[in-house]
Structure 1
Amino acid sequence: MKNDPLLAPFQLRHLTLRNRIMSTAHAPSYEEGGHPRDRYRLYHEEKAKGGVGLTIIGGSTNIAPDSPSVFGQLYAGDDNIIPWFEKLTDGVRSHGAAVMCQITHMGRRTAWDDGHWLPVAGPSGTRERAHRSFPKAMEIEDIDRVTKQFADAARRCQQGGFDGIELLSHSHLLGQFLSPLINKRHDNYGGSLDNRLRLTMQVLESVREAVGPDLIVGMRVTGDELSKGGLDADECVEIAQKIAATGAVDFLNVLAGAPYDDLGLAGWVPPMGMPSAPHLTVAGRIRAAVDVPIFHAGGVADIATARHAVAGGHVDLIGMTRAQIADPYLVAKLARGEEDRIRPCVGLGYCVDRVNQGKPSVCGHNAATGREATMPHRFTGAKIAKTVVIIGGGPAGLEAARISAERGHDVILFEASDKLGGQLKLASVGMTRRQIWGVADWLIGEVTRLGVDIRLNSYVDADEVLGETPDLVIVATGGWPAPPSIEGAGLTISSWDVLSGEVRVKGDVLLFDEVGDHAALVCAVALARAGCSVTHVTPDRATAQDLGPTNSAVVLRDLARQAVTFECFQEIEAVSQAGNRKEVALRQVLTGSTCKRIVDHVVIEHGITPMDALYDDLKAGARNRGQIDQASIVAGQNPLHVTNDDGSYFLARIGDAVAGRNIHAALYDALRICKDF
């Protein structure tokens, strides 16, 4: 691995980076009071422990009161943040990584009805669909104020101990002035390229004057807006050349796209169903045109692509941000020659979509990320090896087996079917979401390597489980789609029937979705690809209401391309036979009015019912009667307490065997139960 280009050091002026892999600026929404306190710091320290060369914290760190946080950003508009900066930079640097901070004014890309309720600012009154605000066209006095606020925030970053700062231009205020899609001014800040670039140049000059010649200063810039009427590749090259010619920047971080609506955001932070690393050539074009190092943030999730980006001369440093959310020890594993053991980012998009829904970021299949204060990424051995019996080979059961085996326990895993993976076998059907199988693939590889005793085709009862003399029994049996409580339910089929291939469907299909998550949409994809005419019906106010913006935008785009239609505010009252077809009575949930449809098939997605019979059979003999102490599990402590002195084993059920949730919940259950047993 010594010759791997990703592991080669890189000299950025006076700063030596230990490798070419970086974590680019993003906002995980771990801030507290606008500050990067312990949760935020420990999250970045973990990546430093894992070997990253450079981590840029503070995605979209705001510099001014009229740039309020809308997705959990830091606020560097006053000096109160400096002590928290110092603690974070000391912590990250103690593990050998360099650390920088991104600062920005978001311009129109924020909200007026939050923070101090100030009007959002922009070059013109052009509204952004994603954040929905109509901005105030900035006056010269506003421009002068913001220029000074950039400089003041840069000084605070320097006082906080950062190795450098990154000014964010792409899609934010500086980039909005540059984009002809947004900037409609007729003064010295609009019209010609030099005029549109004027604010950027003023900010660079002011920042460099504030921090002096020694602090590293870079800028995240657009390489191509990929939008009609926006910045094209040639103009972006010219902009990069003009910025580099000032001598004020030490690197450019290049990405592409225009995240001004949900699909634009998905092109910038791609979930499943989008091309991998689509903008490397955009970065490479700018690298060939300027004399400063080029970084890239743009959907690089795997080592092979990252290696190609560096070895092929496209970039000097490559961002693998979400890849390190999935596995903060990615670099360390690569350096040890364990590339095949890296937990892969499969593009679940749970991290970025949760932030855009106003929730803290978590990884879809690494439950420890963002919880480093209480949840370990690496495991210490148990004092005494015990016998752990797990029933169910889906994500919950596999993760429980992996963690228990890592800790040195003897693990037996029973799976009723002939293949591990559980519901992921259904979730990966079709094209848009097929990468989700990577979660199961990695877990299966790990439990196999760890020597877990895997017993397929084993539908066990309580006596068979107890025959293994277990110390801990984990019921991860998942759930099943119970028939819906409607008249004529026997005339319907479930999404599982379709995705498993047990029922073949053709013709006109009414797909009723009472959940608003991925399951019905994956089913719709499968039906449409099979040639069905599909109408997706939901009682919710929006299709895919529980999904975040990137995932919903991509899957709905794909369904629209296949002529799937969508209807909201409708629920099924009854289904009856109409010859060889079905008559569906629909009720409008707002008005109560009804209508009838004739279709060939009715497919229902209304969640799952836990399969908990085995758990019920095992409760009486359990030392904890199957109960999880809530106070302990919330505190990150062992939640298995003895409440039954006559019991001979501990018992826990996890994942969908408790209640229908998602992959992350199942894996988090497994981690919290198994890490201390």
Structure 2
Amino acid sequence: MSVDPLLQPFQLRGLTLRNRLMSTAHEPAYTDDGMPKARYRLYHAEKARGGIALTMIGGSSVVAPDSPQAFGNILLYKDECVRWLKELADDVHDKGAAVMIQITHLGRRTSWSKDDWLPVIAPSHEREPAHRAFPKAMEDWDIARVIAAYADAAERVKAGGLDGVEFECYGHLIDQFWSPATNKRADEYGGSIDNRLRFGMAVFEAVRRRVGPDFLIGARLVCDEDWDRGLSRDEGMAIARRLTRSGLIDFLNVIKGHIDSDEALSRVIPGMGERSAPHLDFAGEVRAETRLPTFHAARIQDVATARHAIASGKLDMVGMTRAHMADPHIARKIAEGREAEIRPCVGMGYCIDSIYAGQAVCIHNPATGREATIPHLVPRSNGPKRKVVVVGAGPGGLEAARVAGERGHDVVVLEAAARPGGQIVLAAALKRRREIIGVVDWRVRECERLGVAFRFNAFAGADDVLGLDPDIVVIATGGAPNIGFLDSGGEFAVTSWDLLSGAARPSGEVIVYDDNGAHPGLSAAEYVADSGAKLEIVTPERMLAPDVGGTSYPPYFRAFSRADAKVSLNLRLESIARRGNRVVGAFYDEYGRRRVEKEADMIVVEHGAVPVDDLYFELKAGSINRGEVDYDALIAGRPQTVSSNPDGRYRLFRIGDAVASRNIHAAVYDAIRLMKDI
């Protein structure tokens, strides 16, 4: 047996877990009509295939109709869920892992204006800022109804063959009763800690009666809301001790903090630039206090930290949830001595933030959530060995090279710069976001392992590409800063690229104009804020950075607050002119139908990128497919077979920003979809 602490089995009552790695409950919004159907099943089955011991499904699976989906939650109040739970459980069990589900009533953490349009309920009329609903204070019949709904839902879970349930007790209805910030009641459910615990204990007791003594029940609970209005550490620990003494709970999954605002949530689920495992020591204190099996997940994204969590006795099971979205085969790679091949979680938070856009996706693993069409492990080709030339070593180009290398082909990457990375190198120039370079470093290591050849400082022309006699050409040349939208004065603009590359240094008064609404503009603004220059951010949007998600924007806003930055909305930049030693921007206010001038020492412009596509169009006529992509095949995951030019010598594709200004995920998704069948 291995002596690695992470690979030791763990006995959770009657359930033997094969190692100490788990994925905690989260909702990727992969449900179909509120049910965990094929996509949901394949996502969790992949983690089981990759060697994980326990995967928790259904982050916040809801037990009642007045707890409507906030982000694609599983609807456990419908009997039809049993069928889909059973299919998922059987698949995960067949691959050697255990599976549990988190159940909840969201309380005030949802919206009334969806599904059945029922009033949102909570202990008191305390609105949650994040989801904006004004809740109804629960009556006695609401309390009885919800307790019964929990028991019914747990019975369905047991019928589905899962190994246990976990109650969500942070930010949801049960702990909304616990917390003095949300419970203002004057009856037997409010006031003293005994009264505030009454509803939750009634739920636990009802569920235990319904599922019997052998079915596993746990709680993901907040033991300290880290908030002067909320649950204190002392009260949180007291609750944990009472749950232990009750005998109703088999394990605790520890949370610290509160989640009723984006700023607060960003500290409970810390992202890029935050310290590793910030709440691990606290979880260890809870374990020492309660002696219950203890789980925990919060920015434990690397194997060394996870190993420490187990070896030090702080945890019994370590949650590497986002890390398993980046690489669901962590356990298998550890066991096989291939830790260096683990695709890293870079902490960008795109997985969480993208849920509210419709579905969770990892910023640099396009197979996550798409297991039906995209492989996590790219198989070797059974066909002839091909010569693949990739032009550009940004994330898309590196992914194309990696996938072609995994297929067993002869791959050459031509890169104009002296190093790989493309725009990611610029993003990593902001110190807080420097770990994003892991997207590049992992792909470079994998390409080197697979024998991919790199040629840097190679500004490739058509002759350079054709001289390599390629069968496949991938144009991943990216884009260039877009200032062409200006009516005049583009020569006076400083681009976000200029700023982050160090070509321009901010000083005095700096305006950052963000007409992109994503990370590049905010990164440029934070760079200015950190420099000490006086910052004003101007955007034509009605809000700042609409494409930056709820857990990712708070660190930017903290930097802007520290710098006392000014924000101006609803102003569209039309032109820039020189005025003495300064520059002046002419902005248009569409709502007021007026023009506004703003003067500064520097105007930084972020308006996405325009494709660098000259080489693509030079090579298009000589290609078999004339650059055409069969979109139906692309979407379905089938090979590209377009042959519109019988005299063509090679297949030609372009990807990423060489097509249009998008993001990292779009580039790597382009690459693997096109290259996985070559």
Answer whether TM exceeds 0.5 for this pair: yes
Report whether the alignment pairs 1:486 with 2:487.
Answer: yes
Counterpart CA distance in 2 for 1:22 and 1:502 is: 45
Identify which range, 191-200 or 378-387, moves more after superposition. Answer: 378-387
Q: Is the 8 A contact 2:525 2:537 kept in 1?
A: yes
Counterpart CA distance in 2 for 1:292 and 1:584 is: 62
Aligned to 1:367: 366
What amino acid maps onto 2:441 in structure 1?
Answer: D
Structure 2 residues not aligned, in runs of 5+: none
Task: Provide Cα deviations, 1:533-584, integer angstroms capped at 9, x if missing partner.
Answer: 1111000011111111111122122222122221110112332221111122
Report whether the alignment pairs 1:508 with 2:520.
Answer: no
Q: Is the 8 A contact 2:529 2:559 kept in 1?
A: no
Aligned to 2:446: 446
Aligned to 1:381: 380
Counterpart CA distance in 1 for 2:564 and 2:303 is: 37
Aligned to 2:13: 13
Counterpart CA distance in 1 for 2:234 and 2:515 is: 48
Counterpart CA distance in 2 for 1:444 and 1:527 is: 31
Alignment of 1:76-91 (within 5 A): 76-91=76-91
Task: Provide Cα deviations, 1:36-70, integer angstroms capped at 9, x if missing partner.
Answer: 00000000000000000000111100000100001
Aligned to 1:576: 577
Q: Secondary structure at the match of 1:433?
A: helix
Q: Is the 8 A contact 1:268 1:299 kept in 2?
A: no
Counterpart CA distance in 2 for 1:504 and 1:345 is: 31
Aligned to 1:32: 32
Aligned to 2:615: 614
Q: Secondary structure at the match of 2:154?
A: helix
Aligned to 1:206: 206
Aligned to 2:632: 631
What amino acid maps onto 1:279 in structure 2?
Answer: H
Displacement, 1:270?
1.8
Aligned to 1:71: 71
Displacement, 1:203?
0.6
Aligned to 2:672: 671
Q: Is the 8 A contact 1:640 1:650 kept in 2?
A: no
Displacement, 1:618?
0.4
What amino acid maps onto 1:530 in structure 2?
Answer: S
Identify which range, 315-324 or 524-533, moves more after superposition. Answer: 524-533
Identify which range, 187-196 or 274-283, moves more after superposition. Answer: 274-283
Structure 1 residues not aligned, in runs of 5+: none
Report whether the alignment pairs 1:413 with 2:413.
Answer: yes
Task: Provide Cα deviations, 1:480-505, integer angstroms capped at 9, x if missing partner.
Answer: 01333222222212111111112233
Counterpart CA distance in 2 for 1:223 and 1:265 is: 15
What amino acid maps onto 1:66 in structure 2?
Answer: D
Alignment of 1:110-149 (within 5 A): 110-149=110-149
Q: Secondary structure at the match of 1:572?
A: strand
Counterpart CA distance in 2 for 1:126 and 1:662 is: 38
Q: Secondary structure at the match of 1:273?
A: coil
Counterpart CA distance in 2 for 1:199 and 1:624 is: 65
Alignment of 1:166-245 (within 5 A): 166-245=166-245
Q: Is the 8 A contact 2:627 2:654 kept in 1?
A: yes
Report whether the alignment pairs 1:341 with 2:318.
Answer: no
Counterpart CA distance in 2 for 1:506 and 1:558 is: 17
Alignment of 1:155-170 (within 5 A): 155-170=155-170
RMSD of aligned Cα (Å): 1.1
Displacement, 1:305?
1.1
Displacement, 1:598?
2.0
What amino acid maps onto 1:167 in structure 2?
Answer: F
Counterpart CA distance in 2 for 1:640 and 1:602 is: 47
Displacement, 1:467?
0.9
Q: Is the 8 A contact 1:627 1:640 kept in 2?
A: no
Q: Secondary structure at the match of 1:596?
A: strand
Q: Is the 8 A contact 2:390 2:473 kept in 1?
A: yes
Task: Provide Cα deviations, 1:326-345, integer angstroms capped at 9, x if missing partner.
Answer: 00001111111111111010
Counterpart CA distance in 2 for 1:54 and 1:574 is: 57
Q: Secondary structure at the match of 1:550?
A: coil
Displacement, 1:594?
2.1
Q: Is the 8 A contact 1:274 1:554 kept in 2?
A: no
What amino acid maps onto 1:372 in structure 2?
Answer: E
Counterpart CA distance in 2 for 1:368 and 1:496 is: 30
Q: Secondary structure at the match of 1:665?
A: helix
Percent identity for Structure 1 against Structure 2: 49
What amino acid maps onto 2:449 in structure 1?
Answer: R
Displacement, 1:528?
2.3
Counterpart CA distance in 1 for 2:140 and 2:275 is: 41
Q: Secondary structure at the match of 1:549?
A: coil
What amino acid maps onto 2:306 in structure 1?
Answer: A
Counterpart CA distance in 2 for 1:229 and 1:502 is: 47
Q: Secondary structure at the match of 2:413?
A: strand
Task: Provide Cα deviations, 1:84-125, integer angstroms capped at 9, x if missing partner.
Answer: 011000000000000111110010001100111000110000
Identify which range, 579-588 or 648-657, moves more after superposition. Answer: 579-588
What amino acid maps onto 2:373 in structure 1?
Answer: T
Counterpart CA distance in 2 for 1:416 and 1:487 is: 30
Q: Secondary structure at the match of 2:583?
A: strand
What amino acid maps onto 1:549 in structure 2?
Answer: G
Task: Provide Cα deviations, 1:169-195, integer angstroms capped at 9, x if missing partner.
Answer: 111000100000100000010000010
Counterpart CA distance in 2 for 1:561 and 1:27 is: 33
Identify which range, 548-557 or 152-161, moves more after superposition. Answer: 548-557
Counterpart CA distance in 2 for 1:488 and 1:536 is: 19
What amino acid maps onto 1:635 in structure 2?
Answer: A
State the TM-score, normalizing by the size of structure 1.
Answer: 0.99
Displacement, 1:602?
1.1
What amino acid maps onto 1:10 in structure 2?
Answer: F
Alignment of 1:403-552 (within 5 A): 403-484=403-484, 485-552=486-553
Displacement, 1:529?
2.3
Aligned to 1:595: 596
Task: Provide Cα deviations, 1:366-401, integer angstroms capped at 9, x if missing partner.
Answer: 000000000000121112211100000100000001
Task: Provide Cα deviations, 1:235-259, integer angstroms capped at 9, x if missing partner.
Answer: 1111011011111111011111101
Counterpart CA distance in 2 for 1:586 and 1:88 is: 55
Q: Is the 8 A contact 1:656 1:666 kept in 2?
A: yes
Q: Secondary structure at the match of 1:223?
A: strand
Displacement, 1:515?
0.4
Identify which range, 269-278 or 492-501, moves more after superposition. Answer: 269-278
Report whether the alignment pairs 1:392 with 2:377.
Answer: no
Counterpart CA distance in 1 for 2:532 and 2:170 is: 41
Task: Provide Cα deviations, 1:426-448, integer angstroms capped at 9, x if missing partner.
Answer: 01112222111111111111111
